[in-house]
């Protein structure tokens, strides 16, 4: 995590950046792009739908991420992302004390409740400005900042080497690409279902791809993604079936909630 940048952020932006960095470290393709739906990001960042859009908008406006929009989506949701590490590391030239205490450096989540607000990645005027030209706070030169700026160059070089050397060997293999494609398709189906019976059936497809994953790391990431998505759907099914006490599907859901999910997660729900 870029320490100084995250120190400037409010808790919502910090949560989203952390989520995107985690996803990018494993799921990004050779050009740095990776897919995640809004529902995925809600589950993994634990932010609301509106806060997901607002934090993505904030990070895009800063030039920290690039975004591609789902052309088929009615509300033009962002679903492909690329982390801009060079932009993130520019913040490392500031002192950590300034990042924490100076209000001029504060990165606040876009105010999505404002009338007429739209995400920066949908704003043509925002897109017209090159992200490399995004302005950063002006600071006076001092010894600490000069040292930080010099270190930034070293961090950039080290980071590029580290990304190359620590990724799994099978990361760009055809098998991994096919696995990710299949995983994305299953997760998208899970997000759209409105019946617990359908949700339960589709999770069996996850079990199938986990039988022979391209790596143990891939298996672990898929399992974590399924757990996060399931947790995000539980409130929906709970509300749906509480109003239908005699619905046999609802009875199965609540039995699963108590006997399976509750035991796995210590009745956290």
How many helices, marked H, and strands, marked E, lie in the chain? 13, 3
Residue spans per domain, the chain: 3-166, 174-264
140-158 per-position pLDDT tens digit: 444 344 444 444 333 333 3
Whether the predicted pLDDT of 191 surpasses 70: yes
* Tokens describing residue 61: 């406006």
* Tokens describing residue 260: 């399976």
CB-CB contact of 168 with 217 (8 Å): yes
Look at residue 203 in the predicted model and tell me its pLDDT: 92
**For residue 222, what are the CA distances in angstroms to 19, 48, 249, 253?**
15, 22, 26, 22
25-48 per-position pLDDT tens digit: 878 888 889 888 888 888 888 898
Crossing angle of helices 216-242/196-209, nearest 10°?
170
Q: Which secondary-structure segment (H or E) carries 257? A: none
196-246 per-position pLDDT tens digit: 999 999 999 999 999 988 888 888 888 888 888 888 788 889 999 998 888
Secondary structure of residue 122 in the 3-state scheme: helix
* Tokens describing residue 74: 């009615």
Mean pLDDT of 178-201: 89
87-127 per-position pLDDT tens digit: 888 887 777 777 777 888 889 999 999 998 989 988 765 54
Between CA 240 and CA 251 the distance in angstroms is 12
Q: Note the pTM of the prediction, 2 decimals.
A: 0.61
């Amino acid at each position: 995590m870029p320490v100084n940048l995250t120190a400037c952020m409010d808790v919502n932006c910090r949560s989203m950046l952390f989520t995107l960095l985690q996803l990018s470290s494993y799921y990004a393709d050779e050009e740095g792009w990776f897919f995640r739906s809004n529902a995925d990001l809600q589950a993994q960042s634990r932010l609301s739908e509106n806060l997901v859009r607002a934090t993505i908008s904030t990070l895009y406006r800063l030039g920290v991420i690039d975004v591609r929009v789902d052309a088929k989506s009615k509300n033009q949701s962002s679903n492909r992302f690329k982390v801009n590490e060079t932009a993130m590391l520019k913040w490392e030239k500031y002192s950590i004390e300034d990042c924490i205490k100076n209000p001029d450096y504060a990165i606040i989540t876009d105010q999505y409740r404002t009338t007429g607000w739209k995400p920066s990645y949908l704003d043509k005027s925002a897109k017209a400005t090159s992200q490399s030209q995004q302005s950063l706070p002006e600071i006076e030169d001092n010894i600490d900042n000069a040292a930080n700026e010099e270190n930034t160059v070293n961090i950039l070089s080290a980071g590029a080497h580290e990304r190359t050397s620590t990724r799994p060997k099978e990361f760009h293999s055809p098998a991994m690409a096919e696995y990710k494609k299949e995983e994305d398709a299953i997760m998208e189906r899970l997000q759209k279902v409105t019946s617990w019976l359908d949700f339960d059936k589709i999770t069996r497809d996850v079990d199938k791809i986990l039988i022979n994953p391209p790596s143990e790391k891939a298996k672990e990431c898929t399992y974590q993604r399924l757990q996060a998505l399931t947790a995000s759907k539980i409130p929906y099914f709970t509300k749906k079936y509480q109003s239908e006490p005699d619905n046999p599907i609802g009875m199965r859901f609540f039995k699963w909630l108590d006997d399976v999910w509750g035991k796995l997660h210590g009745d956290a729900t």
